[in-house]
């Protein structure tokens, strides 16, 4: 199917990304999976290639082009190459908008150049042991004391958690004000009382460092408040649609890739004297998945177009996130079945995709929460 989402400049950018991914990332995948994190050299190489912060103003070292289609290209090429641990989607798609929209001039000068060069790796800390999709349930507190906030609490499942140099922490600056008491504070590497727990052992995305973070009387300068005090929950609601769309983009890219691999496998693998693709059950399975993937891609591209125009709604972002992530889970599972015993071997891409993509229906807001958002938008 011909996609109408991209212009020639996006396709030229795709070639740049593909070359970078093939040269700088793919040769190190197993090394990084064994280590549980990617190298800082890879981050700096991405920065040197202009692949970090390309939506950031050029005066701060960014590309100066705020067009989410470039994010989509980068995200798709990572999926196509089987790179599930490089944290650039978090850096570019999720953290960058907070810094671009909320940081003041002094903060931008302090953080964005290194953000774009790859010298500074970013993360955002929302989830807590007792609060995941329910962001209003967070317990981490940041109490003002003169020109500082005293930060106490714990976060978990934080992507880029081990390597991050800058963490946007969601905390309660007014414990009695409900969602109006939530603020965003930027915690930097080396602040006393800021400690990282273990690099969590996940079933997939092994090269993506994912950590517990602990804040014990961390004195965060008031100048590290991001945006206005008490507006953190509003900022999260404004930025979560792009995060969810980013997850949906990766999900449909994964489904497309694995379906293509499985089609080739079904042409080559024989059983009872003929390719397994010749059996009606296999053809029907492939036909169903091909149809669903095409429909999913059309919806994903439409959401991206809406987002580029500034028209993506909260409920459509939720639809994209839950439908595309659930579709990917279903497609990968069915493709693994068609691979038979070989699909259970981690050397096969379908097995890795099965492990890497399972979290997509959980992070960024679970499928159940996405349906709740959609249902409420319908007046229920």
- The set of catalytic residues is 243
Alpha helices in 103-231 (DSSP H): 105-117
- Tokens coding 325: 């992530």
Cα-Cα-Cα-Cα torsion 157, 350, 242, 109, nearest 10 degrees, comes to 70
User: Helix 314-339 and helix 367-377: axis angle, to 10°?
Assistant: 140
Q: How far is CA 274 from CA 278, 282, 287, in A?
A: 7, 12, 19
Residue 41: other Cβ atoms inside 10 A: 11
Please identify which residue in the block is written with the tokens 């889970």.
Answer: 329
Alpha-carbon span 160 to 205, nearest angstrom: 12
- Residue 85 three-state SS: coil
Q: What is the DSSP string of 169-183?
A: EEEESSTTSGGGGEE
CB 169 within 8 A of CB 155: yes
Radius of gyration of the chain (CA): 21
Q: How far apart are CA 294 and CA 207, in angstroms?
A: 30
Residue 55 per-residue DSSP state? T
């Amino acid at each position: 199917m011909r996609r109408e989402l991209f212009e020639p400049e996006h396709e030229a950018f795709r070639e740049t990304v593909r070359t970078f991914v093939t040269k700088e990332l793919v040769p190190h995948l197993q090394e990084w999976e064994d280590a549980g994190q990617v190298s800082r050299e890879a981050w700096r190489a991405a920065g040197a290639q202009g692949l970090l912060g390309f939506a950031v103003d050029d005066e701060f070292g960014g590309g100066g082009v705020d067009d989410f289609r470039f994010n989509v290209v980068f995200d798709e090429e990572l999926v196509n190459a089987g790179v599930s641990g490089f944290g650039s989607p978090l850096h570019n798609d999720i953290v960058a908008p907070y810094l671009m929209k909320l940081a003041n001039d002094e903060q931008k000068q302090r953080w964005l150049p290194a953000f774009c060069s790859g010298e500074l790796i970013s993360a955002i800390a929302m989830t807590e042991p007792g609060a995941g999709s329910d962001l209003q349930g967070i317990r981490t507190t940041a109490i003002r004391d003169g020109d500082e906030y005293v930060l106490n609490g714990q976060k978990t499942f934080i992507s880029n958690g081990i390597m991050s140099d800058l963490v946007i922490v969601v905390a309660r600056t007014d414990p009695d004000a409900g969602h109006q008491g939530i603020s965003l504070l930027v915690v930097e590497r080396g602040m006393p009382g800021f400690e990282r727990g273990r690099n969590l052992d996940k079933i997939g995305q092994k090269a993506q460092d994912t950590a517990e973070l602990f804040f014990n009387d961390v004195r965060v300068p008031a100048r590290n408040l991001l945006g206005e005090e008490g507006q953190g929950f509003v900022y999260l609601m404004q930025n979560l649609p792009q995060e969810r769309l980013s997850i949906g983009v990766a999900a449909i890219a994964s489904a497309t890739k694995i379906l293509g691999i499985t089609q080739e496998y079904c042409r080559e693998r024989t059983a009872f004297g003929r390719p397994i693709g010749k059996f009606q059950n296999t053809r029907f399975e492939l036909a169903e998945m091909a149809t669903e993937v095409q429909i999913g891609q059309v919806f994903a591209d439409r959401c991206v177009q809406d987002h580029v125009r500034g028209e993506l709604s909260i409920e459509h972002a939720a639809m994209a996130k839950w439908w595309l992530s659930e579709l990917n889970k279903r497609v990968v599972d069915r493709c693994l079945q068609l691979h038979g015993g070989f699909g259970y071997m981690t050397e096969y891409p379908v097995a890795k995709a099965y492990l890497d993509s399972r979290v997509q229906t959980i992070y960024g807001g679970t499928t159940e929460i996405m349906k709740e958002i959609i249902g409420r938008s319908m007046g229920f």
